[in-house]
Amino acid sequence: MAGTKFAYVRNFELPDPLLPDTYLVCRLDGHSFHRFSDEHGFTKPNDERALQLMDHAAKSAMIEFKDIMLAFGESDEFSFLFRKSTNLYNRRHSKILTTLTSYFTSCYVLNWSQYFPDTPLRYPPSFDGRIVVYPTERAIRDYFSWRQADTHINNLYNTTFWALVQKGGQTTTEAHATLRGTVSATKHEMLFSRFGVNYNEISQRFKKGSVVVREIVAPEPSDKGEYIERDESPECSGASNPLTNIPPHSQSTNEADETPKFDPPRQKHSKAKKKNKLETTVEILHCDIIGDEFWLVRPQLLEN
């Protein structure tokens, strides 16, 4: 529209840059997923197929967006951590949020039939999202600790609630009334004494959620004792279509795109630099992230 009398309308577009030199956390939540899970017959209290589908979509998003270092998911939500130095879309709030949300949703729909082969989609699922900026490593760790603690609290409640309904013969209203005001120890005892369920033996996926992490891959030595780079894309766990052939939205800014001609020393240095570039892969874990161990062995997650 440049040079036309209509170009003035661009002046109404407001810039929306996110604060520089801060961590970005984008949290996506399923929109009206209580209805969605009922319409599609999700198993209560946890449907492992649905959780695996969420993990698949999250892993696909991390393969696509290279500046996402960590993601944590429970139920119908996922939180994505962007590195502090990311300049994805010039840190434009609306661009990052809408693109990640739509890509995640597309991956969820695209791979639905892989996890629910006998249940066709009855209507399109949707996710809403928000981005929050955090200034410190401590705030990031506390954020993900909060989400994992929430996972445990919700799962213990839901496990006990559905035991009362499915095995105890109570209505949902009666089950809520039974659990009102109870503490964790009471729920543990109720599950064990009334239904023979040892909560400690329940799957870690349900109790701790899903941790999708960008791990550093150790370089592989060649026959000559030199280290060689692996040129392979990480595949989604259990995925027939990990969507790895689509060019990523963000690329590393640490490596020069072009080496000047007629400058052998710099060219040699560039190749050496490329050889030392760390290879990463995206993995799905079900582990504790509240304690120190997870973070101490992965300092790269919070580096710039």
Nearest to 188 by CA among 222, 223, 235, 152: 152
C-alpha span between 3 and 276 (Å, rounded): 48
Specify whether the CB–CB gap between 54 and 78 falls below 8 A.
yes
C-alpha span between 68 and 66 (Å, rounded): 6
Flag whether 30 is marked binding. Answer: yes
- Peptide bond before 20: cis, by omega within 30 degrees of 0? no
Flag whether 40 is marked binding. Answer: no
- Calculate Rg over the CA atoms of the chain: 23
Flag whether 188 is marked binding. Answer: no
Flag whether 263 is marked binding. Answer: no
261 contacts: CB under 8 Å, gap ≥ 6: none
C-alpha span between 182 and 173 (Å, rounded): 15
C-alpha span between 151 and 148 (Å, rounded): 5
C-alpha span between 14 and 196 (Å, rounded): 59
Nearest to 78 by CA among 117, 26, 143, 37: 26
Flag whether 75 is marked binding. Answer: yes
Flag whether 32 is marked binding. Answer: yes
Annotated binding site for GTP: 29-34, 75-76
Annotated binding site for Mg(2+): 29-30, 76
Annotated binding site: 29-34, 75-76
